[in-house]
Amino acid sequence: MTLSDSRLPLLPLDDRWFYALAIVGIFLNATGLFSPILEPDGALYACLAKTIAQSGDFVNLYAVGSDWLDKPHFPFWVTAVSYLVFGINSFAYKFPALLFTVGSAVYTYHFARLVYPKLVAQVAVLVFMTAFHGVLSNNDVRAEPYLTPLIIGAVYHYYRIFLGAKGYHLVIGALLTGCALMTKGPFVLVPIGAGLVVHWLLTGQWRELLKLRWYLAVGLSLLFTAPEFYALYEQFDLHPEKVVFGQTGVSGVRFFFWDSQFGRFFNTGPIKGAGDKLFFTHTLLWAFLPWSLPLYIGTGKALAGLVRRQPVLPEYVSLGVGLATFLLFSLSGFQLPHYLNIVFPFYAILTAQFLTGLKSVNLRRWTIGQSVIGALLIVLAMALLVIVQPDRLTQALVWGVVITFATITLFRPNNLLSLAGRMVGAMLVLMGVLNLFIYPTLMQYQAGMTVARYVNSRPASAQRPTVLYLPGTGPGGGSFWTYEFYVDSPVRYARTDSALRAEVRRQPSLVFTTGVQADSLAFRGFTVQRLAIFPYYHVSQLTYNFLNRETRAQTLMPYILAEIKE
């Protein structure tokens, strides 16, 4: 066999290179740390935690001035504690998510090291830290950055128990499982448990399912979920008179166990979606960039090995978690692109196992192919700069050029280190351009945030309460939540004309609403004195016309800050 046909020895990356690239990966995920909070979901969650921090009430969740029943409490508790430490600001909202992401990387490394050589663990960490949607989720922070380490951490500790470790790993695994349940609900048991079950079945160790310790783990997990049960019971089950989802008698505990997860899966709950069985098949292609192709091919190779009864994996936990969660969400009636982020550590391990197992000649080919993908991502970043023309355009161009030149200089050979280094460099260009330059420019069109800063800067209005006029029911949306989060003065919501009349009857009120609603109020007998008009766009749903500076004005709608009296 020639050298070119042989497999490369699985020697680990030099620790200095690995730690340097890992630190760059952490910095890459931190690039969104100081940019504004993205509407709508991120701003809503930020407001929920702000209410907790200001009131000291860690039991009840309120949004739009009403009881809120949708997500469990754990991320809001963590964020509220961060507010108490760092103050109520964008950094304090996002910083805990970054810490949890670093925790995910640490657990990814240690789980991989239980079974794989050190090289696989190193590459898996770098893959995880640079996957596109994982990095994006540290800017648009929701529940996923919190949920990811809780899942990979629980699986790690349970697998340690399976390998014969001491019993405290079972307790830690159950604690992490309980926190995961308090983050997303009962469906987290699927990614946590499916991989272990698949591994036992495929390796002929199905008797593990009969062992008492795993049922003890389930019981301990439910015990650690007790704070969530208490909070939901206290806020909703003890108060059947409360109107939630347009009806009374709503049980928070039942919603947690059924409607929040199974209701969405079967599309029978109060919150519905339109499921597409192939949604995550094509979503993962861009969400896991620049690693999606080796992930798909590596997973396909593993499945083909199972069919031929020629296994290529030393463990099937990663494959079981990845496939079970993928199928679960694909069959669900409610789907969003960030849902699969929670199993990115396992996808990273599958990707790393595939790349490190390549023959030397194939590795060179993959390095070249991946480098083309990285180059295309850099071209995309530069094209976005030309189209968007963000503030500090020159600095953004310098950022891209300097990092690209440094990457080419440092990683010349077509080997595994260069493959990892080039992908880290390409993602640093792309996500740096997005998080440091493009998003901060585009988020100026989150009218609620810009109006809040306008109000805070003027002594005459800084201490006046603001009425947010948002007709209808439910949590609403638009740009009201960023106003509520960023403004320093109190806010109150008015959902009907009668509620607004009650506010302005006492004295003229500062009101924030859409331009359409302001015009409508003038026709319905209110006196509307417009103080300022601000442009708005739904920034989380980008279109070419909005990105293009030349056509951006055509996509904007006005929000109004007004003084209103009867």
561 phi and psi, to 5 degrees? -105, 120
The predicted-structure confidence for 391-428, as pLDDT tens digits, reads as follows 999 999 999 999 999 999 999 999 999 999 999 999 99
Tokens 């995309």 belong to 380
Q: Are 325 and 192 in contact (CB under 8 A)?
A: no
Please list the residues that pair with 67 across neighbouring strands: 62
Q: Which residues touch 220 (CB under 8 Å, ≥6 apart)?
A: 170, 171, 174, 175, 178
Share of the chain above pLDDT 70, in %: 95
Count helices and strands (H / E) in the chain.
27, 7
Tokens of 198: 């698949």
- Does 57 reside within a domain? no
- Does 60 reside within a domain? no
User: Among residues 409, 444, 479, which one ends one of the domains?
Assistant: 444
What is each CA distance from 317 to 116, 287, 307, in whole angstroms? 12, 22, 17
* 439 and 451 belong to one structural domain: no
* 480 and 550 belong to one structural domain: yes
Average pLDDT over residues 527-551: 94
* 416 and 315 belong to one structural domain: no
Tokens of 244: 């939630």
Closest to 319 measured CA to CA, from 451, 468, 201? 201
Supply the pLDDT for residue 5.
44
pLDDT above 80: residue 272: no
Supply the pLDDT for residue 353.
96
Q: Which residues touch 554 (CB under 8 Å, ≥6 apart)?
A: 545
Average pLDDT over residues 95-116: 97
* 460 and 548 belong to one structural domain: yes
User: Among residues 392, 425, 444, which one ends one of the domains?
Assistant: 444
CATH number of the CATH domain containing 521: 3.40.190
Average pLDDT over residues 152-161: 98
Tokens of 77: 């508790």
Q: Which residues touch 523 (CB under 8 Å, ≥6 apart)?
A: none
* 221 and 364 belong to one structural domain: no
Q: Look at 266 and 387; give whichever has higher pLDDT.
A: 387
The predicted-structure confidence for 218-244, as pLDDT tens digits, reads as follows 999 999 999 999 999 999 999 999 888
User: Among residues 327, 356, 385, which one ends one of the domains?
Assistant: 356
pLDDT band at 503 (very low <50, low <70, confident <90, very high): confident
Q: Which residues touch 247 (CB under 8 Å, ≥6 apart)?
A: none
Closest to 110 measured CA to CA, from 156, 142, 74? 156
* 459 and 554 belong to one structural domain: yes
Overall domain count for the chain = 3
* 211 and 319 belong to one structural domain: yes
Domain span at residue 543? 446-565
Closest to 75 measured CA to CA, from 139, 29, 144, 20? 144
- Does 245 reside within a domain? yes
* 280 and 313 belong to one structural domain: yes
The predicted-structure confidence for 356-380, as pLDDT tens digits, reads as follows 999 999 999 999 999 999 999 999 9
Mean pLDDT, the chain, integer: 92
Kindly provide the b/e burial profile for residues 475-492, where b requires at least 16 CB atoms within 10 angstroms of the residue's own CB. Answer: bbebbbbbbbbbbeeebe
**At 142, is the secondary structure helix, strand, or coil?**
coil
* 159 and 252 belong to one structural domain: yes
* 377 and 454 belong to one structural domain: no
Q: Are 280 and 327 in contact (CB under 8 A)?
A: no
What is each CA distance from 542 to 78, 432, 451, in whole angstroms? 30, 18, 21
The predicted-structure confidence for 18-56, as pLDDT tens digits, reads as follows 999 999 999 999 999 989 999 989 999 999 999 999 999
**Cα(428)–Cα(435) distance, rounded to whole angstroms?**
10
The predicted-structure confidence for 119-143, as pLDDT tens digits, reads as follows 999 999 999 999 999 999 999 999 9
- Does 451 reside within a domain? yes
- Does 38 reside within a domain? no
